[in-house]
């Protein structure tokens, strides 16, 4: 049922954009480029509700490359038993979408020495995703809103995480 509602909303939006494009095309001067300008206007109006997610996706991927890292000494952490020592959350203020950085720190379970930390980034969706709230998910609909420097780290280095 939810899929039919989404299809109805998409169909309604395409219909409205078509009508709006025809209305606004009256002010496009007649020249050899006017058909291309009308198509461009249609495309711009069509993607307008997702424009913040499109731009936010580029920003998020750039942040993931720069920020989603893991810091550890492989010789110290391989095969160790660790516990979560702390996790701090920061909010980026210079991104188009609400984006968060979570720094997770792990300590050796026997010595309590911090031996591993990694950064996870999460992004909320654009205004449309947050407004419609698809399945209670505020995440982006056009890209994966999560990346982590700790992906597969525990499996690859045979690290066991326990509660303290």
Rounded CA-CA distance 33/38 in Å is 9
Whole-structure pTM value: 0.78
Element (H, E) at 37: helix 34-47
Q: Which two tokens stand for residue 58?
A: 């580029």
Report pLDDT digits (tens) over 43-93: 999 998 889 999 999 999 999 999 999 999 998 899 999 999 988 999 999
For strand 81-92 and strand 160-162, is the pairing parallel, antiparallel, or unpaired?
parallel
Tell me the chain's radius of gyration from C-alpha atoms.
Answer: 23
Q: Is the dihedral of CA 5, 57, 61, 136 positive or negative?
A: negative
**117-144 pLDDT, tens digit each:** 999 999 998 888 777 766 677 788 888 9
Question: What does the angle CA 142 – CA 144 – CA 148 come to, to the nearest 5 degrees?
Answer: 160
């Amino acid at each position: 049922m939810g899929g039919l509602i989404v299809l109805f909303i998409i169909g309604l939006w395409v219909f409205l954009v078509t009508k709006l494009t025809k209305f606004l095309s009256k002010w496009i001067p007649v020249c050899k480029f006017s058909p291309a300008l009308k198509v461009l206007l249609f495309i711009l109006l069509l993607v307008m509700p997702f424009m913040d997610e499109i731009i936010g996706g580029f920003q998020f991927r750039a942040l993931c490359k720069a920020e989603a890292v893991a810091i550890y000494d492989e010789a110290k952490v391989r095969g160790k038993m660790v516990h979560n020592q702390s996790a701090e959350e920061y909010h980026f203020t210079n991104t188009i979408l609400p984006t968060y950085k979570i720094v997770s720190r792990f300590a050796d379970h026997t010595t309590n020495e911090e031996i591993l930390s990694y950064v996870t980034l999460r992004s909320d969706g654009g205004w449309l995703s947050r407004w419609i709230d698809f399945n209670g998910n505020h995440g982006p609909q056009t890209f994966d809103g999560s990346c982590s420097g700790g992906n597969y780290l525990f499996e690859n280095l045979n690290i066991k995480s326990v509660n303290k």
